[in-house]
Amino acid sequence: MVDPKTWRALCGKAVALCGSQATFQAQARILRRLVQVYGPVDVERMIAGARELGWHDLKSLGSKDGLGRRWALERYWQTQKGAPKKTLDALGDILQARGLVK
């Protein structure tokens, strides 16, 4: 199993996804099973992807066919690939505005 600090952090992210403590408590076993099978790092990525997709529960992540889990991970990686380019573009705009680069 995962250490208590990591487990609390994952539970907090899951509660934020579900919208309430009561909703999360009804689905806590899904989170526990996901962590046991895929590990805390991948589950954290799944939760982040689910939030990006606008999902409000863990049921889709825990489906038998794994489609929701794969969608959430794919969405997570899509947002991660796009982040550095936006940051570099913003940095370039700042440098150009200050006249430091052309």
pLDDT digits (tens, 9 = 90+) for 24-81: 999 999 999 999 999 999 999 999 999 999 999 999 998 889 999 999 999 999 988 8
Domain boundaries, the chain: 4-97
Kindly report the backbone phi and psi dihedral angles of residue 78, in degrees, each rounded to the nearest multiple of 5, phi listed first.
-65, -45
Q: How far is CA 34 from the centre of its chain?
A: 13
Token code pair at residue 93: 């705009």
- Specify the pTM: 0.77
Is the pLDDT reported for residue 83 higher than 60? no
Is the pLDDT reported for residue 2 higher than 80? yes
